[in-house]
Amino acid sequence: MIGFEDCSLPSSIGICIMALRFDEQTRAHYRAGILRKGKQIAEALADVLAGKERRIQLRELPASGQKPGMRLEERLRAYLDHVEACRALLDASDDRFGRCRRCGVDLGELALAEMPWADRCPDCAAELG
Ligand SMILES: [Zn+2]
């Protein structure tokens, strides 16, 4: 079981770094924001599946999991998956939370306070369109 030892090392370092980046209160705030957003998307998805008219700003959708030609319900599902994955990172104190998935830069507390499920810095977001 040497492999298990090796695997556990990076995640414990991640937890250390994460604890330095955000205090308990900030993390609780992010978590509440993520849960609220998840509920909102789930409601939008339920409306779309029920055939109700539902408009959503496409630019609000994160780049991850979004492909051209996707139907609205597929986009919302991908968005919901994304928000859920962010919550999982936060709950696991994974240091990837709050960082740009592409370049790894810390997105900063101001941006995260507004969108704790963000996963792209403005530079990378602009490049991906
Ligand atoms: Zn970036």
What residue segments make up the domains of the chain, in order of their start?
2-128
pLDDT for residue 27 is more than 90: yes
User: What is the model's pLDDT at position 6?
Assistant: 42
Task: Give the model's confidence band at 59: pLDDT under 50 very low, under 70 low, under 90 confident, else very high.
Answer: low
Centroid of ligand 1 to alpha carbon of 1 (angstroms):
36
pLDDT for residue 78 is more than 60: yes
Centroid of ligand 1 to alpha carbon of 107 (angstroms):
8
CATH code for the domain defined by 2-128: 1.20.120.910
Residue 26 corresponds to which tokens in the numbers above? 């900030």
Centroid of ligand 1 to alpha carbon of 108 (angstroms):
12
Distance between CA atoms of residues 30 and 48, nearest Å: 27
pLDDT digits (tens, 9 = 90+) for 36-58: 999 999 999 999 999 987 776 66
Centroid of ligand 1 to alpha carbon of 92 (angstroms):
22
- Residues whose CB falls within 8 Å of the CB of residue 80, separated by 6 or more in sequence, listed in order: 38, 41, 42, 45
Task: Give the model's confidence band at 62: pLDDT under 50 very low, under 70 low, under 90 confident, else very high.
Answer: low
Q: Is 41 exposed, middle or buried (0-12, 13-18, 19+ CB in 10 A)?
A: buried
Work out the average pLDDT over 30-37. 96
Closest CA to 61 of 32, 83, 28, 46: 83
